[in-house]
Structure 1
Amino acid sequence: MEAYKEWVRRNRLWLSSIESLANTMTWFLPERLTSSELAPEALSTMVGLVTVMNEHIVATAPEISSTEFQVRPPEDPTFPWPLLLSVVKEVEVLVEMSSEHFLGRDQKWTPVAVVEALKAFMRLLVLHKSGYKMLIDGGETLNREEKPESSHCDVLGKSQIRGATPSSSNQPRAIQAMNKYRNNVGTRPSWLVAKPVATPPPPPPTQHFEPKSSAPIRKFKILGEVLLILRPFLYVMMIRRHGLRSWRPWLSALAIDATGMAILYGSTLFPDYVFGNKSIPRCVPSKQEKNEITRRQVLWALYLMRSPFFDLYTHRRLERVEKTLKPVPLFGSLAGKAVELIQGVQAFYTYTAGS
């Protein structure tokens, strides 16, 4: 196993190209997007699982220091939930297609709901273990990037760890006196301490413990993240109850997504307007979190591919484009193949792809 790991780490670029090519080729296999033929999807799932394992091997590779000694990265003693999340996402479409093949189109949503419930449970665990940071790629990637020093809204009680105390304006006089006495116990009188020569005064502290402002922001952000985590499971459960052609699941999922994103935007970028307190600092997201917010915005396009919106609007537009390009040589064939692929993707991938 160690020999295979070393081989993967040495040839990771070459392997990445081969895996991407193999995954692309599975889309052009016969009967790729039909429920009667599961072999192409099983092959695609196998390629995806191999890719996930190889990426995990590369990510856990020991770092080489300047002295050419191998320094292993800090190992997480807990279970690798991000890796398990990636594995579950790879097999989810195969579970959906198998359920439709053996149980029928209307009964397939029960196994899909079980998979979504498992994913939601694991994501809540990852959210808790990460200190309630924003999930990157649905929890598959660890949120390790540090935020700018001017932003400390994500961390609650960090000043308590450093020994800071709450602001004296929020304390009774008796507690202020006790804190002052406690801080002065064991210290030497000022007349015994040698005075330094031309020593600049220490910079004023830039962070204070403000429970009345930071606690609501943090809880608000956690609420938004939990809503976005539970949305796929709730969406599949509503499809299971009301049917795929009902507008209730579509509108409910869109409302949950919009509410969750609005909460994240408000608590991160505009907390002073949300809470009506201009003294609350803005939480500047890291580059990794900005990319994640952009990714979530792009996933909103999947609502155009979900029934009943797809059946009433998107599908008709695609048919018009296909009819317009059909007389054109080469472009007509490409347009027909593209519409066929889009219809196949819409039937199996769009309902769980954004989860």
Structure 2
Amino acid sequence: MESASCTLNNLWTSYKRWIVTNPQLLSDIEATVRCLSYFSFGHLGNSNLAIELIYSMPNLIVLCNDLLMYSSKCTYLKIPQFESKIKIWLTVVEYTETLLEISANKLWGAKGKWLIILIVQLFKTVLRLLLVHVYKERVTKSPAIPPLDREKFNKVIHNAELKEGFTLKRSGTVIRSVKHSVPVEMRTWKALPSNIDENENLTKNQQSLISLKLAESLYVTKPLLHLGAIYITNQKRWPPWMLSLIIDMISLNIYTRSSQKILFSKEEKEELVRRRLSLLLYILRSPFYDKYSCTKINALLDTVSTSVPFGKLLANAVKKNLPYMQSMYFYMWSR
């Protein structure tokens, strides 16, 4: 038993060492696995559970490798998204929520499916509200921990270690390197930063900060409000669809007005752009899709299949898989 445990520990240590020394090869392998997961659509019959398992695994593998790379290479740079257990749990749930939904449907039927949906969305909402109101995060990301930019991360580590200085093992204090120090007359004599710039832009405008909290709280609670509207009416009715669209537009409008007074970080701006673009997904969500988009999209695919070289193969694949993708990935509570 001890020998088996020792072997596993050695394999785990070797794997951690390999991903640190081969980041580009690791990224290529992850990209290949992700591409293979996309081709699973239409080739596994009606096995929705297998499709979602294959689709979820690459994302979880990337997250695991990012965490291992961070813990192995980063001795003093602090990246809150990797140190926050809330964000780690949120990311895992976001990558697996569709898999959990399908599993519940297989085991317990429609009631079990909707129960799991409610539990998952309640769990996500509570954690995101904690990020907003306790940890003062102005714009929550989806996923909570985006895939790590390996090239940029390696450059930051390399520059920090070779140009900035070195770290004391026991205290974690960053010591400047004399060799790479700037001339005396140009030195600021300030302590080196101990973390990556998180662009936490401070503002004295408390009213704007309250508006941001309101906007993000609305956006975060939208899934639960949508589920409540479905319970009162029906998933195929217009009120839930309209409620979610209105919440999105109000939230984005508050952010737009606040941008004139508050400086947003690059990451926050990218997330807000993603949310604006996601408004286009409303044409793929019921009941708009059932009444309007479905016939238009099918007509467009038919046109592509007859007028574009090799378009028939692509159009038929999209046409075949679109109903499943629309029913599984374009729920109103999807972020």
The code of the aligned residue for 1:72 comes to Y
Equivalences for residues 335-354 of structure 1 within 5 A: 335-351=315-331, 354=334
State the Cα deviation string for residues 271-311 of structure 1 (Å, max 9, x = none).
xxxxxxxxxxx212122221111111111122111100111
Aligned match for 1:112, one of 117, 122, 125: 117
- Match of residue 25 from structure 1: 36
**Counterpart of 1:324 in 2: which secondary structure?**
helix
Corresponding residue for residue 316 of structure 1: 295
Q: How far 1:125 moved relative to its partner?
A: 1.8
Q: Which amino acid aligns with 2:312?
A: G
Provide closer, same or farther for how the CA distance between residues 332 and 234 of structure 1 changes in structure 2, counting only shifts above 3 A. Answer: same
Letter in 1 for 2:238: W
TM-score by length of 1: 0.69
1:49 and 1:90 in contact (8 A); partners too: yes
Within 5 Å, give how 1:1-355 maps onto structure 2: 1-29=12-40, 31=42, 36-63=47-74, 71-74=75-78, 80-104=85-109, 108-137=113-142, 139-140=144-145, 145-146=198-199, 152-153=202-203, 214-269=205-260, 282-328=261-307, 330-351=310-331, 354-355=334-335
Letter in 2 for 1:223: L
The TM-score normalised by the length of structure 2 is 0.72
Number of residues paired by the alignment? 274
Q: How far off its partner does 1:10 sit?
A: 1.8
- For 1:10, the aligned partner's letter is T
Give, in angstroms, the shift of residue 78 of structure 1: 7.1
Considering only CA atoms, is the larger Rg found in Structure 1 or Structure 2?
1
C-alpha deviation, 1:312, in angstroms: 1.1
* CA RMSD of superposed structures (Å): 2.9
- Aligned amino acid, residue 145 of structure 1: E
CA-to-partner distance for each residue in 1:7-41, whole Å, 9 max, x for gaps? 22222222222122212212322656876441232
Which runs of 5 or more structure 2 residues have no equivalent in the other structure? 1-11, 149-195
- In structure 2, do the counterparts of structure 1 residues 310 and 102 end up closer, same or farther at CA, with 3 Å as the change threshold? farther
Q: Distance in 2 between matches of 1:332 and 1:244?
A: 33
Structure 1 runs, 4 residues or longer, greater than 6 Å off:
75-78
Give 1:252 shift.
Answer: 0.5
C-alpha contact 1:31 1:37 (8 A) present in aligned 2: no
Which consecutive unaligned segments of at least 5 residues does structure 1 have? 64-70, 157-213, 270-281
